[in-house]
Amino acid sequence: MESPLHPSVGPALSFNGGFVDTLGFLALQGLFTAHVTGNFVTLGVSIVHGTSGALPKLIALPVFVLVVGLTHLAAVAIHQRGLAPLRLLLVTHTLLLAAFALLAILWGPFTDGDSTTALITGMTGVTAMAIQNAISRQHMKGTPPTTLMTGNVTQFAVDAFALWTERDIQQRAIIKQRLKPICSTLLAFASGCVSAALLYLAWGLWALILPVVVAVGVCLGVYRGDRLKP
């Protein structure tokens, strides 16, 4: 049985979601590592304008789907052995995020998005973020998604207008309670996007070290939470 997660875990992963997706887009010729369906849009742009990076955008979705499926199977196998899968999945995610940063620093900048080095680096990032998506979906029940913000924005709008019109005190309290993690998630994701852009200008691909540090912090926090569990 997994321990309840600290409220900071969701926002921390959301910050990483925005950071990695933005920096990956900037460094890898428009490749989304987390919001992979957005690659269909940038794929169309690549085809029309003749820019590079079409191949990674084309294979990002099947890679993402495969990794999510394998992550689910791994979680089931870990659970069947009487272990909590969340900690191991977070460690795997962190290691892949570190590999993504290392490859980007060693091989970047990427002027040709279809090159072998750009493809390997990009798919490493996609793999890391696919695991984060799977973790968010299956092991963080009650926490808003940490990478897909459209649903969070929709829920925020629904709850904000519901709060505006609702007069029942108990219902207003329920709506406010639901809004808190959504607002935290949206702010963290937006902060990650802005931070990625600014740090990319200042540090280049070395900026990818920051989400690795954040991921390590999440792992340590979850590990301590498991140890303190009665």
Min mean pLDDT across 65-69, 126-130, 134-138 is at: 134-138
Report pLDDT digits (tens) over 87-118: 999 999 999 999 999 999 999 999 898 899 99
Report pLDDT digits (tens) over 30-43: 899 988 878 778 77
DSSP assignment string, 142-187: TSPPSS-HHHHHHHHHHHHHHHHH---HHHHHHHHHHHHHHHHHHH
pLDDT > 60? residue 182: yes
Report pLDDT digits (tens) over 160-169: 999 888 888 8
Q: Flag whether the pTM goes above 0.95.
A: no
What is the chain's mean pLDDT, rounded? 90
- Mean pLDDT across 197-208: 97
DSSP assignment string, 34-78: SSGGGHHHHHHHHHHHT-S-HHHHHHHHHHHHHHHHHHHHHHHHH
pLDDT > 80? residue 151: yes
Between CA 110 and CA 27 the distance in angstroms is 6
The dihedral over CA atoms of 67, 69, 74, 77, expressed in degrees to the nearest 10, equals -170
pLDDT tier at 1 (50, 70, 90 boundaries)?
very low
Region of residue 204 (left: phi > 0; alpha: psi -120 to 50; beta: else): left
Cβ proximity of 47 and 113 under 8 Å: no
pLDDT > 60? residue 217: yes
- Mean pLDDT across 15-20: 97
